[in-house]
Amino acid sequence: MTNNLNKAILFCVCAAIAACKTLAPSQVDYYGANNTRAEVSFESYFIFKAGEDFKGPAADVLKAPYREVLDRELNEYLDYLTGIFLNYGPFADYPGSLYGKPTIKLLSASFLSEEKHLIKVNYSYLDHASFTKNLVPDSSRTYPIVLPARLDQVYEKNLSPEGHETCSMEESGKFRFWYYWNPEKEGCRLKPDDLITINAKFSPLPSTSLTYPDYETLLGDNGNGRDLEIVWVIGPEAYIKENDNGVWQYNAALKLFGQNPEFSLEKKDEGHAIFRSKRDNFDVMLKIYLMNYFGDKEFYNVVSSALQHADIFIFHGHSNYGNLLNPEALKFNSETVSQGKAQIFYFGGCRTFRYYNAKFFEIKPKNLDIITTTAPSYFWTFAQVGETLITEILNSSYPPWQSVINAMHERERKIVEYSGPRFISSIAVNGDEDNPTVPFLKP
Ligand SMILES: [Ca+2]
Ligand SMILES: [Ca+2]
């Protein structure tokens, strides 16, 4: 099964860390079936090589104009945490994901070598992250994490004489090295002096225990009359062709709803189908698409429109290191967003907790619930897990988010356990702090 795992990770084209501004970790609430959020905090240092023009004193790197360069470098440096939480120590079996809104404080700076412009910069770090519950059960834990000492040297020093990477899970190239970073890998050429081992503290954060999707608004007018519009976009694993896992999932989704007596197929074109379901007080319109991602204008049009107008938007496919669903490129911004419209976005791909959470809540902080994954996820789970979300939301018992997420997790768990990889994606809902806490009784 290692092959499958490697393949999943390889294809989990998952992202460069968002701007590392000094912001408080998110106040967004959360519920995960098998996972929890934790605060990750530590104090450490890194070695910054200032430009030839830098004269000092060392503390000047903490101020403008050098501060900007330092922030940029530290930002890039901390991307290596992504690799740690995916590949290193206990995280190799139980991957975690950072929220990506860290509070970073630069504490002090001193010269290691004035002549070489090397400055030791002390900093403190605090962010939220999601982890499986067994890693952060009910009280704080400390886990060692290992970061490079010098960003400007780590890649070159890791290379073998033949030019191969020795400290990464996959031969990835300099610009993706942080994602595959694993200083524990056998044969890693980095010496103790090239590395900094940090004791990071992991403190569990509470999860929500009873919150509901905003059924009343979602199933009501919500800006589109009787329709409850669900848009589900599935992308290929490699190419749109027979035997591709993504194509197979698209066909499986059509089959699941084709067999559902409550749904009727209204329209089917190449790579696009519409199902309808009539209810007493609303009509379901379920649009399912199979689409290529990059360079496909149609993909951006469909997703952009769904983010603005759909009641429920589901995406299944690659994350491309978090670069795929970029709100800016998708024209999801303060001018286009309907702040009052209740929406559910389910980003089903690799580690979407890390990539899309903060980005979308920044633009739409309320009336939005985002379903994410903590770990890489597998293409062959998409159709069934997506169907579970839809049928749970349409279930006339109007289940709370905790039941919906548990049902999605169970569905995924059964498929994954059957096929045998080491971990499952750890599905969770984010942003239920503004949601109803009492059951919805009437549609
Ligand atoms: Ca409606
Ligand atoms: Ca919400």
Average pLDDT, integer, range 131-155? 95
pLDDT value, residue 5? 39
CA of 207 to the centre of ligand 2 (A): 14
pLDDT value, residue 226? 97
pLDDT value, residue 296? 82
CA of 369 to the centre of ligand 1 (A): 17
Strands (E), 133-185: 141-148
Ligand nearest to the CA of 343: 2
CA of 224 to the centre of ligand 1 (A): 4
CA of 36 to the centre of ligand 2 (A): 18
Residues that place a CB less than 5 A from ion ligand 2? 369, 431, 434-435
Give the lowest-confidence range in 3-12, 94-103, 240-249, 397-406: 3-12
Strands (E), 294-384: 312-316, 343-348, 368-373
pLDDT value, residue 263? 98
Q: pLDDT digit string (tens) for 247-283?
A: 999 999 999 999 999 999 999 999 999 999 999 999 9
Given a contact cutoff of 8 angstroms between Cβ atoms, the answer to whether 170 and 10 are in contact is: yes
Q: pLDDT digit string (tens) for 24-77?
A: 445 789 999 999 999 999 999 999 999 888 888 999 999 998 999 999 999 999
pLDDT value, residue 17? 36
pTM confidence score:
0.91
pLDDT value, residue 418? 78
Query: Does 2 score more than 70 pLDDT?
Result: no
pLDDT value, residue 347? 97
Share of the chain above pLDDT 70, in %: 93
Share of the chain above pLDDT 90, in %: 84
CA of 142 to the centre of ligand 1 (A): 48
CA of 323 to the centre of ligand 2 (A): 24
Ligand nearest to the CA of 27: 2
pLDDT value, residue 13? 38
CA dist 190 and 139 (Å) reads 34
CA of 229 to the centre of ligand 1 (A): 7
Of the segments 4-18, 21-35, 409-423, which one has the largest average pLDDT value? 409-423
CA of 272 to the centre of ligand 1 (A): 22
414: helix, strand or coil: helix
Query: Domain 215-430: which topology?
Result: Rossmann fold (3.40.50)
CA of 91 to the centre of ligand 2 (A): 29
Ligand nearest to the CA of 214: 2
Helix (H) or strand (E) holding 252: helix 245-258
CA of 328 to the centre of ligand 2 (A): 21
pLDDT value, residue 20? 31
Ligand nearest to the CA of 217: 1
pLDDT value, residue 421? 62
CA of 427 to the centre of ligand 2 (A): 16
- Residues in CB range of 123: below 8 A, 6 or more apart: 43, 44, 45, 46, 74, 104, 105, 106, 107
pLDDT value, residue 28? 87
CA of 106 to the centre of ligand 2 (A): 33
pLDDT value, residue 26? 55
Average pLDDT over all residues of the chain = 91
Ligand nearest to the CA of 430: 2
pLDDT value, residue 294? 76
pLDDT value, residue 21? 31
**Domains in the chain: boundaries:** 4-204, 215-430
Average pLDDT, integer, range 133-140? 92
Ligand nearest to the CA of 345: 2
